[in-house]
Amino acid sequence: MMRSFPYLTAGVLAFAAATSTALAQESPASAETPAPAATVAPNAPLTPMQRQYDGQLHVTLAPYVWLPTVRQNVQYSIPTLSKGTVPIQSSVSVGPSDYASNINTAAMFEFEVRKGALDLFGDYIYTNVSANATASTIVSGPLGHVKIPVTLTTNARLASSIWEIAAGFSLAHSDSADVNLFAGWRQFPLNLTLDYNAVIGKKGIIQPAGTIVENPMANDVIFGLRGKAFFGDHFYVAYYGDAGVGAINQTWQALGGPGYVFDHGQTIILAYRTLNYNTFPQNSPVQKLSMYGPLLGYTFQL
C-alpha cells in the first residue's frame, strides 16, 4: 500500500490540473453565470431534554390523579363520665376502594417554571372525603384494675390540603438525562373531625357518644433530587425523592415511573408515589401516616 501511495497522489494531482485547465477555457459568459447555492443540510431536531435546557422560559402544568392507600397510627382522648379522659390508640388502613366512592371534592396538580438550569416547581393536593370506620380496642379503667373493651363506630370527614413549593438547579444534564437538586417547603394540615359512638364493656365509664376535633399542622423544610432519563425520543423514566424535617415530625417522599412524550410536547406519566410522616410528639393525635399508591398525570406546555 505504501509503494502505491506516490502513484495515487500523482493521479489526483493530474486530475486536479486537468480540471483547472478545462475551467479556464470556458467562455466568459459561462464564467459570469453564478454557481448554484450549496444546499445546507437541515439541523437535527432537538431532543426533549435539549429543549428543556435551551435557555428559553418553559412553563408546564400537570393535573394528576393519585389513589393512595392511607395507613396511620392515631390516638384519641375519649372523655369519661367523671370528666377525665381515656387514651385510645388504633392503627387504620384505608385503600382506594374504601374512599373512592366517598370523595366529595378533590384537586391535584403540579406546576414547573424552568429557564436553563434553574427551576421553580410546586405541588398541590386537596381532598374532602367522608368515611366510615370501626375500631375495636381495650382500655384500662380506674386505677388500671378494669379492662374495658371499646368499639368505636366513626363517621368522619377529612378535609386536607398538602402543598409544596421548591426551587432548584441542575447538577448535571446531557442530551438524554438530568439530575436536579432542590430545596423547599411542604405543609400538611391534618384536620380531622370525628363523630363517635362507643359500645363499652360492662362498666359505663366512657361517654358513649361525642365529637373530637384535631387540628395538628405539619410544616417541613424539604430537600432532595429529581430528574428524568430518556430512552429514545419519546419514552422516559422520571424519579423524585425528598426528605424533610419540621417542628413536630419528620417526613420523606419518593416517586418513580415511566412516561411518554408526544410529538406536540405534552407528556403522560404513570408512577408510584409514597409520602410518609413519622416521629410525631407523644401527645399528637397522629403518630404515623403513610400514603402510597399509583399516580397518573398529564403535562401541558403553557
Q: Give the integer Cα–Cα distance in Å for 71 and 196.
A: 20
Q: Give the integer Cα–Cα distance in Å for 295 and 302.
A: 22
Q: Cell match 435551551: residue?
A: 54
Computed over every residue of the chain, the mean pLDDT equals 78
DSSP state, residue 15 = H
C-alpha cell at 178: 438530568
Between 60 and 139, the more confident residue is 60
- Looking at residue 196, its pLDDT comes to 64
Q: Quick check: 288 and 62 in contact, CB under 8 A?
A: no
Q: Give the integer Cα–Cα distance in Å for 111 and 301.
A: 10
- Looking at residue 8, its pLDDT comes to 39
- At residue 40, does pLDDT exceed 50? no
Residue 228: pLDDT band by 50, 70, 90 thresholds? very high
Torsion from C-alpha of 77, 78, 82, 84, nearest 10 degrees: 0
**How many C-beta atoms lie closer than 10 Å to residue 7's C-beta?**
9
- The region that residue 248 occupies, defined by phi over 0 for left and psi between -120 and 50 for alpha, beta otherwise, is alpha
- At residue 20, does pLDDT exceed 50? no
Q: Give the integer Cα–Cα distance in Å for 66 and 253.
A: 14
Domains and CATH numbers, the chain: 49-301 (2.40.128.90)
Q: Cell match 372523655: residue?
A: 79
The tens digit of pLDDT for each residue in 268-296 reads 999 999 999 988 887 777 788 888 999 99
Q: Give the integer Cα–Cα distance in Å for 165 and 244.
A: 13
Average confidence (pLDDT) over 177-196: 84
Strands, DSSP E only, in the chain?
A: 57-66, 69-79, 85-94, 103-115, 118-140, 147-173, 178-189, 192-200, 209-214, 217-231, 235-246, 250-261, 267-278, 286-301
- Of all residues in the chain, the percent with pLDDT exceeding 70 is 64
Q: Which residues contact 197 (CB under 8 A, 6 or more apart)?
A: 152, 153, 208, 209
Half-sphere exposure of 123 (CA within 13 A, CB side): 18
Average confidence (pLDDT) over 113-138: 82
- At residue 180, does pLDDT exceed 80? yes
Integer Rg of the chain from CA = 33
DSSP 3-state assignment of 29? Answer: helix
- Looking at residue 151, its pLDDT comes to 65
Q: Give the integer Cα–Cα distance in Å for 80 and 204.
A: 9
- pTM for this one? 0.74
